[in-house]
Amino acid sequence: MKGEIDCHDPKECSGKLLPVRDALDVLSGKWKIPIIMALSFGNYRFKELHRQIGITPKMLSKELRELEMQYLVKRTVYDSTPVSVMYELTPYADSLKDVIASLGKWGEQHRKRVMSKTKQPA
């Protein structure tokens, strides 16, 4: 492989692998990126996110908590009746824009490649 992934020493490879694992730990799972993408369009209440993404309330709560712990989502509780809670992306979440865009670009290329291979006779 080209670029930064090239390594000739196991310690060097391990040093490059750890940050990738960290990134994957933060973004892993079915719901984290859809939540981040939804919040990139604005702030949402819990129920709005639930409806928009199509995720169970229990899973949404878990994923939002994890994203908060990673400083990517901010939760604001408003003292009203009933209590209102809003979720928004933090400024730090902006650092994921290029990462998610790159994943999307790679995904498009990969999908085209796989689809073109499946249409050809074996």
CATH number for the domain harbouring residue 52: 1.10.10.10
Proportion of the chain in helix, strand, coil states, percent, rounded to 5: 65, 10, 25
Instruction: Tell me the per-residue pLDDT of 24-43, one tens digit each, with 9 for 90 and over.
Output: 988 988 999 999 999 999 99
Query: Which pTM does this prediction carry?
Result: 0.80
Token pair of 8, please? 């000739």
Report the 10 Å Cβ neighbour count for 66: 18
Q: Greatest CA separation found in the chain?
A: 63
On whether residue 20 sits in a domain, the answer given is no
Residue 36 is part of which domain span? 31-119
List beta partners, residue 76.
86
The secondary element (H helix, E strand) that includes residue 69 is helix 57-69
Instruction: Tell me the per-residue pLDDT of 45-103, one tens digit each, with 9 for 90 and over.
Output: 999 999 999 999 999 999 999 999 999 999 999 998 888 999 999 999 999 999 999 99
Tally of structural domains, the chain: 1
